[in-house]
Structure 1
Amino acid sequence: MNIVYLETYFVTVSSILGIGFLGLPLLLDKSGLYPFLVAFLTASVVHILIVFFIVEILQKSHALQVKHLKEKLNDDIYETLEDHSNNEGQAILSKQDAVRSPDLHFLAEMFLGYGFKYVFDTLIITDLSSFLILYALAGSESFGELLGIKYLYIIPVFIWCLAFIIIFAVSYIGNLISVLTLLKGVLFSLAVIVTLFVTSGRQENASNNFNYIQDSLLLSILSAGGSVFVMPFLFAKIENDSSQIKKYRLAVVMGLVTCSILNIIWCWVVFDIVPQHCSPIIERNKSSHEPIVCNSLERAKENGEISTVPLIRVIRHEHPYFLWVATVVGIFIIISITVSFMTYGTALHHIICGIVESKFPSCSSLESQRSKNIAKIFTSSFISFIFFAIIFVIAMLNPKAFLEVMEKFCSLITCFLHILICLMFLSSRYKNVEILLPLPKIWASSAYLVLLYLSYSVCYDIYISVMPYLQPNNI
Structure 2
Amino acid sequence: MNIVYLETYFVTVSSILGTGFLGLPLLLDKSGLYPFLVTFLTASVVQILEVFFTVEILQKSYALQVKHLKEKLNANIDETLEDDSNNAGQAILSRQDVIRPLDLHLLGEMLLFYGFKYVFDGLIIIDLSCYLIVYALAGSESFGELLGIKYLYIIPVFIWCLAFIIIFAVSYMGALISTFTFLKGVLFSLTVIVTLFVTSGGQENASNNFNYIQDSLLLSMITTSGSIFVMPFLFAKIENDSSQIKKYRLSVVMAVITCAILNIIWCWVVFGIVPQHCSPIIERNQSSHEPVVCNSLERSRENGEISTVPLIRIIRHEHPSFLWIATVVEIFIIISITVSFMTYGTALHHIICGIVESKFLSCSSLESKRSKNIAKICTSSFISFIFFAIIFVIAMLNPKAFLDVMEKFTSLILYLSLILICFMVLSSRYKDKKNVEIPLPLPKVLVPSVYLVIIYCCYGIGYGIYLAVMPYLHPNNI
Instruction: Please say if residues 353 and 380 of structure 2, whose CA atoms lie closer than 8 Å, have aligned partners that are also in contact.
Output: yes
Separation of aligned partners in 2, 1:261 and 1:14: 14
Change in Cα spacing, 1:365 to 1:411, as seen in structure 2 (3 Å) is closer
Separation of aligned partners in 2, 1:48 and 1:186: 25
Shift of 1:367: 6.2
Separation of aligned partners in 1, 2:477 and 2:217: 26
Q: Which runs of 5+ in 1 are unaligned?
A: 79-89, 285-289
Change in Cα spacing, 1:472 to 1:229, as seen in structure 2 (3 Å) is closer
Pairwise mapping of residues 104-123 of structure 1 onto structure 2 (< 5 A)? 104-123=104-123
Shift of 1:72: 1.1
Separation of aligned partners in 1, 2:276 and 2:438: 51
* Aligned residue number for residue 434 of structure 1: 437
Pairwise mapping of residues 239-254 of structure 1 onto structure 2 (< 5 A)? 239-254=239-254
Letter matched to residue 439 of structure 1: L
Shift of 1:187: 0.5
| 1:194-225 deviation per Cα after TM superposition (whole angstroms, max 9, x unaligned) | 10111033411000111111001100000111
1:195 aligns to 2:198 (yes or no): no
Pairwise mapping of residues 57-72 of structure 1 onto structure 2 (< 5 A)? 57-72=57-72
Q: Secondary structure at the match of 2:463?
A: helix
Instruction: Please say if residues 129 and 391 of structure 2, whose CA atoms lie closer than 8 Å, have aligned partners that are also in contact.
Output: yes
Change in Cα spacing, 1:180 to 1:292, as seen in structure 2 (3 Å) is farther
Shift of 1:96: 5.7
Change in Cα spacing, 1:259 to 1:474, as seen in structure 2 (3 Å) is closer
Letter matched to residue 173 of structure 2: I
Separation of aligned partners in 1, 2:476 and 2:318: 41
Letter matched to residue 297 of structure 2: L
Shift of 1:361: 3.0
Instruction: Pick from 462, 466, 470 the counterpart of residue 473 of structure 2.
Output: 470
* Aligned residue number for residue 51 of structure 2: 51
Instruction: Please say if residues 363 and 369 of structure 1, whose CA atoms lie closer than 8 Å, have aligned partners that are also in contact.
Output: no
Change in Cα spacing, 1:95 to 1:42, as seen in structure 2 (3 Å) is farther
* Aligned residue number for residue 318 of structure 2: 318
Separation of aligned partners in 2, 1:92 and 1:388: 40
Separation of aligned partners in 2, 1:374 and 1:92: 25
Instruction: Please say if residues 77 and 91 of structure 2, whose CA atoms lie closer than 8 Å, have aligned partners that are also in contact.
Output: no
Instruction: Please say if residues 111 and 427 of structure 2, whose CA atoms lie closer than 8 Å, have aligned partners that are also in contact.
Output: yes
> Percent identity of the aligned residues?
83
Change in Cα spacing, 1:119 to 1:76, as seen in structure 2 (3 Å) is closer
Shift of 1:75: 9.7
Separation of aligned partners in 1, 2:365 and 2:392: 40
* Aligned residue number for residue 128 of structure 2: 128
Letter matched to residue 470 of structure 1: L
Change in Cα spacing, 1:25 to 1:355, as seen in structure 2 (3 Å) is same
Change in Cα spacing, 1:203 to 1:247, as seen in structure 2 (3 Å) is same
Separation of aligned partners in 2, 1:94 and 1:179: 39
Change in Cα spacing, 1:248 to 1:217, as seen in structure 2 (3 Å) is same
Normalising by structure 1, we get a TM-score of 0.93
Instruction: Please say if residues 177 and 343 of structure 1, whose CA atoms lie closer than 8 Å, have aligned partners that are also in contact.
Output: yes
| 1:210-258 deviation per Cα after TM superposition (whole angstroms, max 9, x unaligned) | 1111001100000111111000011111111111111110110011110
Letter matched to residue 392 of structure 2: F
* Aligned residue number for residue 455 of structure 1: 458
Separation of aligned partners in 1, 2:151 and 2:475: 38
Separation of aligned partners in 1, 2:409 and 2:199: 35
Instruction: Please say if residues 91 and 365 of structure 1, whose CA atoms lie closer than 8 Å, have aligned partners that are also in contact.
Output: no
Instruction: Please say if residues 426 and 444 of structure 1, whose CA atoms lie closer than 8 Å, have aligned partners that are also in contact.
Output: no
1:444 aligns to 2:447 (yes or no): yes
Shift of 1:91: 9.5
Count residues in correspondence.
Answer: 459
Instruction: Please say if residues 163 and 345 of structure 2, whose CA atoms lie closer than 8 Å, have aligned partners that are also in contact.
Output: yes
Separation of aligned partners in 2, 1:327 and 1:466: 40
Superposed CA RMSD: 2.1
Separation of aligned partners in 2, 1:283 and 1:337: 30
Change in Cα spacing, 1:145 to 1:292, as seen in structure 2 (3 Å) is farther
Q: Secondary structure at the match of 1:442?
A: helix
* Aligned residue number for residue 271 of structure 2: 271
* Aligned residue number for residue 417 of structure 1: 417
Separation of aligned partners in 2, 1:412 and 1:227: 17
Normalising by structure 2, we get a TM-score of 0.92
* Aligned residue number for residue 161 of structure 1: 161
Separation of aligned partners in 1, 2:40 and 2:96: 41
| 1:320-359 deviation per Cα after TM superposition (whole angstroms, max 9, x unaligned) | 1111111000000000000000000000000000010111
* Aligned residue number for residue 83 of structure 1: none
Change in Cα spacing, 1:383 to 1:217, as seen in structure 2 (3 Å) is same
Shift of 1:3: 0.9
1:299 aligns to 2:302 (yes or no): no
1:356 aligns to 2:356 (yes or no): yes
Instruction: Please say if residues 166 and 345 of structure 1, whose CA atoms lie closer than 8 Å, have aligned partners that are also in contact.
Output: yes
* Aligned residue number for residue 141 of structure 2: 141
Separation of aligned partners in 1, 2:392 and 2:363: 37
Instruction: Please say if residues 283 and 291 of structure 1, whose CA atoms lie closer than 8 Å, have aligned partners that are also in contact.
Output: no
Change in Cα spacing, 1:318 to 1:427, as seen in structure 2 (3 Å) is same
Separation of aligned partners in 1, 2:362 and 2:410: 36
Change in Cα spacing, 1:241 to 1:94, as seen in structure 2 (3 Å) is farther
Instruction: Please say if residues 76 and 91 of structure 2, whose CA atoms lie closer than 8 Å, have aligned partners that are also in contact.
Output: no
| 1:410-468 deviation per Cα after TM superposition (whole angstroms, max 9, x unaligned) | 01111111111111111112212000001133322110011111110100000011011
Instruction: Please say if residues 40 and 221 of structure 2, whose CA atoms lie closer than 8 Å, have aligned partners that are also in contact.
Output: yes
1:42 aligns to 2:42 (yes or no): yes
* Aligned residue number for residue 406 of structure 1: 406
Letter matched to residue 469 of structure 1: Y
Instruction: Please say if residues 73 and 92 of structure 2, whose CA atoms lie closer than 8 Å, have aligned partners that are also in contact.
Output: no
Pairwise mapping of residues 206-245 of structure 1 onto structure 2 (< 5 A)? 206-245=206-245
Letter matched to residue 201 of structure 1: G
Pairwise mapping of residues 94-105 of structure 1 onto structure 2 (< 5 A)? 97-105=97-105
Shift of 1:299: 0.5
Letter matched to residue 471 of structure 1: H
* Aligned residue number for residue 184 of structure 1: 184
Letter matched to residue 303 of structure 1: N
Pairwise mapping of residues 351-390 of structure 1 onto structure 2 (< 5 A)? 351-361=351-361, 368-390=368-390
Change in Cα spacing, 1:384 to 1:365, as seen in structure 2 (3 Å) is closer
Separation of aligned partners in 2, 1:180 and 1:94: 41
Q: Which runs of 5+ in 2 are unaligned?
A: 79-89, 285-289
